[in-house]
Structure 1
């Protein structure tokens, strides 16, 4: 944090503080340091910024104007830094794509070669879209594209994807299992039979797993989460091996499980768990990023 950023923080905190000591405590600075920085800035701008003799302390009119203009400069610097990251990536021909756990390996395996054929001069770097990655990582240029949860952020361009219908994997050891059928009916009574069963989770704490936890909680279902895996396809495979259950999709289950596997699927109505997914990227992204996003959308919707 440079001195300008610190001054903005100090001037903002003055609006809700009685003394400089209180300001310093809120920002984890020392009071002498806060006082020194204000004095230095007042000398630099040649005008008084803070009414220190009054209690509570307050900003002068000049202080209000200065902090507003400093924020404009701060925002411009942040946008410049983001654009520089984007420009450097574009110059290097690299695009970073974060993919959530519901985009399974076979789907990605079909998309990636097609993207390479369409954009042979670009280096596409696919990473897992975990709970640690947020819309701010798109805004600050940490990643270029995200395929996953739909964020509501005015700085992002959003391409909605079809809503994914989730399913509970029912192994042959479960009392609900019917060897003569592929599917088990979704009812409250059928859900209740899953109480205390072993469950394989997915390390997507901000998206898929949050929705799953809410579904189970609302229906009063308690499961024993014995393991977490990076994506839903791996979770389905391990769940079958351990005769456990997991939340997945029909497509992922059929792509990742052997045809000889004995399991049923309990399809969860979209009204119960709606997974609004999208392809997201910054509105100010390069033409290459926008073109790749459109290509991914076309490939997913084939």
Structure 2
């Protein structure tokens, strides 16, 4: 049983549950342990630290002052162990020369190619794996080392460092099949009345449900607009090209639209005010990341902001 005393997670769970339980039997039930097993672990802890941790004779039971201090410090040890594990994963990946970079759908294809080429030229000793920053990926994927760098939405996590990016300006593609289309104009004014002309228009969506598409859905709903979503594609670049081919509408960025539109395409753009979407973006990596990861992240920031 001595090895169990060193199981920090288990010890923290026991001491934490003492604070919200009436008896050791209740603690054991919450953790699916036997009461003798819990008692033995507490006795071993008290023997190891040389001080009483739990007031067993009280009803309800409680932690002693020493128990509170031990619990707090065990959590520090637990946090340090997690960070150590993350660092080891990080170091192993760096030693293998592979960095995983997740990019959201608002970064268009040409920019991804441009970024990939430039970071390869600057860091030829590294191998890069670029993937879509989809709704399935979260800040925990950065914390546990599944991805090294994320370009897209910001996460509020003290273990992550965020390099802010300029707020993306979104635009609605207005096809010639829409009554709002003006062949003499490049841009159409954003207004409630103009948005209402999109009712029942064919719409190409994006699969990024946790970021872009959720914002788009809220925007349309708040303005009472119902569109006929005929398909969804993995990113905004592909959605824009498909919308052009099918004379449909989609929400994209001005940069993606301009890179996709040909002179012969009969489309207008309706720029969406930033306050209507609040798509704050950033480049995010773990604070404990290797120097290579940090350098790559800051290089990508320079490439995006200077482009």
- Shared fold (TM-score, shorter chain, > 0.5): yes
Following superposition of structure 1 onto structure 2, how do residues 207-246 of structure 1 map, counting pairs within 5 Å?
Answer: 207-246=211-250
Aligned to 2:32: 30
Partner of 1:202: 206
Question: Which of the residues 282, 285, 288 maps onto 1:281?
Answer: 285
**Contact kept in structure 1, 2:14 and 2:38, CA below 8 Å:** no
Q: Distance in 1 between matches of 2:16 and 2:67?
A: 10
Write the deviation string for residues 106-155 of structure 1: whole angstroms up to 9, x where unpaired. 11111111111111111111111112222232222222111111233333
**Distance in 2 separating the partners of 1:13 and 1:267:** 54
> Which of 79, 96, 101 matches 1:97?
101
Question: Retained in 2: the 8 A contact 1:165–1:274?
Answer: no
Q: Any stretches of 5+ residues in structure 2 without a counterpart?
A: 1-5
Say if 1:49 and 1:60, in contact at 8 Å, map to a contact too: yes
Deviations 1:154-182 (A, max 9, x none): 33222221111001112222111222222
In 1, Cα distance between the equivalents of 2:210 and 2:157? 16
Q: Tell me if the contact between 2:143 and 2:159 (Cα under 8 Å) persists in the aligned partners.
A: yes
Q: Which residue of 1 aligns with 2:299?
A: 295
After superposition, the Cα gap between the structure-2 partners of 1:118 and 1:125, relative to the gap in structure 1 and judged at 3 Å, is same
- Rounded to whole Å, the distance in 2 between the matches of 1:140 and 1:175 is 50
| Structure 1 position 272 matched with structure 2 position 276 | yes
Aligned to 1:40: 41
Q: Which moved more, 1:148-157 or 1:261-270?
A: 148-157
2:3 alignment counterpart: none
Hey, what's the Cα distance between the residues in 2 that align with 1:278 and 1:182? 29
- Which region of structure 1 is more displaced relative to structure 2, 48-57 or 267-276? 48-57
Please state whether the residue corresponding to 1:178 is helix, strand or coil. coil
Number of residue pairs aligned between Structure 1 and Structure 2: 299
Distance 2:23 2:246 in 1: 61
1:171 matches 2:172: no
Query: Hey, what's the Cα distance between the residues in 1 that align with 2:228 and 2:55?
Result: 59
The structure 1 residue matched to 2:139, chosen from 129, 135, 142, is 135
The DSSP-based 3-state class of the residue aligned with 2:189 is coil
Distance 2:77 2:156 in 1: 26
SS in 2 for 1:271: helix
Rounded Cα–Cα distance in structure 1 between residues aligned with 2:182 and 2:77: 65
Distance 1:183 1:73, change over 3 A: same
Q: Superposition pairs for residues 29-178 of structure 1, below 5 Å?
A: 29-30=31-32, 32=34, 36-46=37-47, 48-52=52-56, 54-178=58-182
- Seen in structure 2, the aligned counterparts of structure 1 residues 186 and 85 have a Cα distance that, compared at 3 Å, is same
In structure 1, the gaps of 5 or more residues are none
Cα distance change of structure 1 residues 55 and 234 upon mapping to structure 2, 3 Å threshold: farther
Deviation, 1:16, is: 3.0
Residue 247 of structure 1, aligned match among 224, 242, 251? 251
Structure-1-length-normalised TM-score: 0.88
Distance 1:227 1:52 in 2: 63
SS of the aligned residue for 1:264 comes to strand
In structure 1, C-alpha distance between the alignment counterparts of 2:167 and 2:128, rounded to whole Å: 26
- Normalising by structure 2, we get a TM-score of 0.87
Check conservation: 1:7, 1:38, Cα contact below 8 A. Answer: no
Secondary structure at the counterpart of residue 108 of structure 1: helix
- Give, in whole Å, the separation in 2 of the partners of 1:24 and 1:194: 60
Instruction: Tell me which residue corresponds to 1:256.
Output: 260
Task: Answer whether contact 1:21 1:31 (CA < 8 A) is retained.
Answer: no
